[in-house]
Structure formats: C-alpha cells, structure tokens
C-alpha cells in the first residue's frame, strides 16, 4: 500500500511510478473518491461531536433529576443522520481500500526504466561455465536415467507439475535444504519453522491478495491459503506490531515448500521441474530501518549469491527494470544459473526491497525512541535458494560424459559422502 498522503500531495510521482510498471491504475479516480470520502468524514465527525455534547447534557440533566426528554427527542434525528452518513462512508472507504490494495508499489529511483524482461541489465557474473558434452542432456532426462526423478509418479499422485524425487534425488533435496539453512545461520539469520497455510489477512499483508488470487491455492472451508513462499508467514509474524527501535534489523531464514497454481503460465516450461506447483525453497526475510534498506538489499543479495559460490555454481545477477518489477517490489535483483541441457538461464533467487509497502499493508511499525511516533519498517526478502532449479542446474551442469553427475564438494558431507550420482 502506498502512503495516501503521498498520493494526494504528489500524484504526478505516483502516476509516473505506476506507469513505469505498466500497470493500469486510475490515480485521478482514486483521488476523486478520496476527496468524497473526506467530505463524508467531516460531516459525520461534526454530527458525532454534537451527539457527544448532547450526551453529556442528558447525563447531567438526569443526575439533577431534570427533564431530558426534549434533548433526547431532538437527538433521534441526529442519530439517524449519523447512521446514514456512516453507511455511505463505509461503502466508499471500502471502495477506496480496495483501490488502494490494487495500487502497486513505486519503483525506486535507481531502477532502470524498461518494458519487460528483455530490458533487465546484467549487473554481475560469477564463475565460468565449464565445457559441456556435445549434447548436454536435460535435467529430466538425467533424472529419469538415474532414477532420482519420477515425473510420472508425481503426475499420477497429484497431477501435472508435481514431482516425486526418489533415492539419492530425495537425499539431494534434503541435503540442499540443510546446507542452505546452515549457510544462512552462519550469516546471522534466525532459523524459523513456520505454518505452510496462512489466513487471508496474511496474504493481504504481503501483497499476494487481492491481486494474485488466481495463483494461490485456497482451502475454502477454512479460508486458508497454501503459502506461495515463506515470505508470507515470516513477514506476517509481526503483522500489527510496533517494534522497538533496537530490535532492528531482524533477519530470518526458513525452509518451506511453496505452492503456486501458475495460472498464467500455461505453455511455459511444461517439461521437467523448473516450473511446478509445489517446490521447496529456503527463504531469507529482513526487517530493516528505512535508511538502511537499500544497503541491506545488497547484503541480502550477497547472502544469496554466497550459496551458489559455496556450491561452485556459476551465476549472473540481473536487475529488474521497472516493467518487470513485481507488484509489491520497489527494487529487485534476480539471480540466474545456466542450465545447459535446456539452454536457459534459470531464476533461482529473487531479492527484493519492498520498502514500506508490505509494512503499511501488514501494519508493521517501529518506535525508535521511548516516546517517538511509530513509523513503518522496510521489509526485504530473497530466496536462498529455490531448490528445483538449483537441482536442475546441478544435474545439467555437472553431468559427465559417462552419464554420472558430480556432487558439489560442499554438499558431499550432507549427502552421506556420496560424490557422484550414478545409475
């Protein structure tokens, strides 16, 4: 959510920011409604002040055993009017709230302007892509050959977009989760284990709702949502909370499965495990002081990159341009690894600064000094990392001419000493 006062005061800046994201939003219609609402607020408040005065008067008269009937009779009309105005006010503020929730965050001034993914600049590259066999196999071919990835089984028990990992494949998943969490703990993140289903307020808090409703799995009976990322439970832990100034910064890491309907992406990545409905991810979430959030974003990005460096996997970092930036983000870096089998860069991490956008929605504030006015915190998060794409990269990048897959050395201790995946 944006600061409503900012929208009033500097609509031009808001219009520009929204336009940069290529989102359709009528700022003027919003402002018109906002003004209408403020008129109603003033009317009802005036009436209520009247009513409060009369109430005191009635109370006084009754105590003095005097007749209050005339005032009471007079207040009946006022009361009815208050009810009418409040009703109108309620309906218009609901409209405004819905509009406000659909207004995207504004890109940070440092974000390059662009239309879409093709305009995202590469800002960093690390490692060398090793020499590959003539025709590198895709991860699903390797996975099936080694018997560690069973897509048919996944399709049978659940459906398309679900995978079964078996044997050393299952072990690989577990090993990666452990390695990732260990790295983040060393980086100073507090490890959390959180619910995988959350309530509606949490989904609104981090910005998944109402905009992305179609991409979420919903348990209607209990109105629970399967989390699309650990960001949701971790960021919402402090929903409607005023933090003490010295609590910041806070940083958390959590492993969770992630559930996504991928409603808008039919036809993309239809094979393999690079786009599935359920996947595993280790996430980092930071609560930052506003003045530090951008330096924190760089640190967060570095913390995610470190995971790939530990695994000795080459990567590149791209900065999302305005047009490719997600709804809630003010600035975002994606980390991508090369998958020679599918000949694609895979997004294994996304590190974003939401500034106070989520904090406003979720009501996460901080009080710097004892009696200071609470202000909104900044929230950030980044994947560290998304498992299936890392696995795809490892399988494709580390495949040998003899059909084996070399396990990155840092991972071997987590794999019970296994150095190669082989049939």
Q: Catalytic site residues? A: 260, 275, 347, 350, 389
Q: Give the interface segment with RNA, choosing from 44-52, 117-125, 154-162, 247-255 (CB under 7 A).
A: 44-52
Asked if 399 and 368 count as a contact pair (C-beta separation under 8 A), the reply is no
Asked if 351 and 279 count as a contact pair (C-beta separation under 8 A), the reply is no
Omega before residue 216 within 30° of 0, cis: no
Nearer to RNA (CB atom), residue 14 or residue 179: 14
Nearer to RNA (CB atom), residue 6 or residue 29: 6
Residues 268 and 135: their CA atoms lie apart, in Å, by 22
Structure tokens at 97: 């709230």
Nearer to RNA (CB atom), residue 4 or residue 145: 4
**Which residue stretches of 11-147 are H helix?**
11-20, 27-63, 69-102, 139-146
CB of 75 to RNA, least distance (A): 3
Residues 24 and 288: their CA atoms lie apart, in Å, by 30
**Could you say which of 365, 389, 396, 397 contacts RNA (CB under 7 A)?**
365
Q: Of residues 204-263, which lie at the interface with RNA (CB under 7 A)?
A: 242
31 binds RNA per the rule CB under 7 A: no
Q: Name beta bridge partners: 386.
A: 281
Question: Counting Cβ atoms within 10 Å, is residue 81 exposed (0-12), middle (13-18) or buried (19+)?
Answer: middle
41 binds RNA per the rule CB under 7 A: yes
Q: What x-and-dash track marks residues 79-108 binding RNA by CB under 7 A?
A: x----------x------------------
Asked if 396 and 139 count as a contact pair (C-beta separation under 8 A), the reply is yes
Asked if 243 and 372 count as a contact pair (C-beta separation under 8 A), the reply is no
CB of 377 to RNA, least distance (A): 12
In this structure, the number of other CB atoms found within 10 A of the CB of residue 188 comes to 11
Asked if 163 and 151 count as a contact pair (C-beta separation under 8 A), the reply is yes
Q: Give the interface segment with RNA, choosing from 129-137, 301-309, 322-330, 363-371 (CB under 7 A).
A: 363-371
Q: What x-and-dash track marks residues 45-84 binding RNA by CB under 7 A?
A: xx-xx-xx-xxx-xx--x---------x--xx-xx-----
Omega before residue 178 within 30° of 0, cis: no
Q: At what angle do helices 27-63 and 69-102 cross, to 10 degrees?
A: 160
Residues 199 and 330: their CA atoms lie apart, in Å, by 25
Count of residues binding RNA (CB under 7 A)?
31
Q: Give the interface segment with RNA, choosing from 20-28, 37-45, 174-182, 189-197 (CB under 7 A).
A: 37-45
Nearer to RNA (CB atom), residue 135 or residue 370: 370
Structure tokens at 415: 């794999």
Nearer to RNA (CB atom), residue 199 or residue 326: 199
374 binds RNA per the rule CB under 7 A: yes
Asked if 149 and 403 count as a contact pair (C-beta separation under 8 A), the reply is no
Give the number of residues written for the chain: 423
Nearer to RNA (CB atom), residue 36 or residue 312: 36
**Could you say which of 6, 10, 42, 160 contacts RNA (CB under 7 A)?**
42
Q: What x-and-dash track marks residues 164-193 binding RNA by CB under 7 A?
A: ------------------------------
CB of 205 to RNA, least distance (A): 15
Binding residues (CB under 7 A) for RNA: these are: 4-5, 38, 41-42, 44-46, 48-49, 51-52, 54-56, 58-59, 62, 72, 75-76, 78-79, 90, 242, 365, 367, 370-371, 373-374
């Amino acid at each position: 959510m944006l600061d409503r006062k900012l929208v009033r005061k500097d609509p031009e800046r808001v219009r520009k920011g929204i336009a940069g994201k290529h989102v359709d939003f009528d700022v003027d219609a919003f402002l018109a409604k906002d003004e209408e609402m403020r008129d109603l607020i003033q009317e009802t408040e005036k009436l209520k002040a009247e009513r409060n005065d009369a109430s005191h008067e009635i109370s006084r008269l009754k105590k003095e055993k005097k007749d209050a009937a005339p005032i009471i009779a007079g207040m009946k009309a006022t009361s009815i009017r208050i009810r009418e105005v409040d009703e109108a006010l309620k309906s218009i503020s609901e409209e405004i709230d819905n509009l406000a929730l659909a207004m995207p965050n504004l890109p940070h001034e440092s974000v390059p302007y662009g239309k879409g993914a093709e305009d995202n600049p590469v800002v960093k590259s690390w490692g060398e892509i090793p020499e590959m066999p003539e025709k590198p196999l895709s991860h699903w071919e390797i996975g099936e050959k080694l018997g560690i990835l069973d897509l048919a089984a996944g399709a049978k028990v659940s459906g398309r977009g679900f995978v079964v990992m078996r044997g050393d494949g299952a072990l690989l998943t577990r090993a990666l989760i452990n390695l990732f969490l260990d790295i983040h703990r060393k980086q100073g993140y507090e490890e959390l284990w959180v619910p995988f289903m959350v309530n509606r307020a949490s989904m609104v808090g981090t910005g998944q709702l109402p905009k992305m409703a179609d991409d979420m799995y919903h348990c209607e009976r209990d109105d629970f949502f399967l989390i699309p990322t650990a960001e949701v439970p971790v960021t919402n832990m402090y929903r409607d909370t005023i933090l003490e100034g010295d609590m910041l910064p806070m940083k958390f890491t959590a492993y969770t499965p992630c559930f996504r309907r991928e409603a808008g992406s039919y036809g993309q990545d239809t094979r393999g495990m690079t786009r599935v409905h359920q996947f595993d991810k280790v996430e980092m979430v930071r609560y930052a002081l506003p003045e530090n959030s951008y330096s924190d974003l760089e640190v967060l990005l570095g913390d995610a990159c470190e995971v790939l460096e530990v695994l000795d996997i080459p990567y590149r970092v791209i900065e999302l341009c305005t047009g490719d930036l997600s709804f809630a983000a003010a600035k975002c870096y994606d980390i991508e690894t090369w998958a020679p089998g599918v000949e694609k860069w895979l997004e294994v991490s996304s590190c974003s600064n939401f500034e106070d956008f989520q904090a406003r929605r979720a009501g996460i504030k901080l009080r710097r000094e004892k009696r200071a006015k609470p202000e909104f915190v900044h929230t950030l998060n980044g994947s560290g990392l998304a498992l299936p794409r890392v696995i795809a990269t490892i399988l494709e990048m580390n495949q040998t001419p003899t059909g084996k897959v070399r396990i990155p050395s840092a991972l071997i201790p987590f794999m019970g000493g296994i150095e190669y995946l082989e049939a």
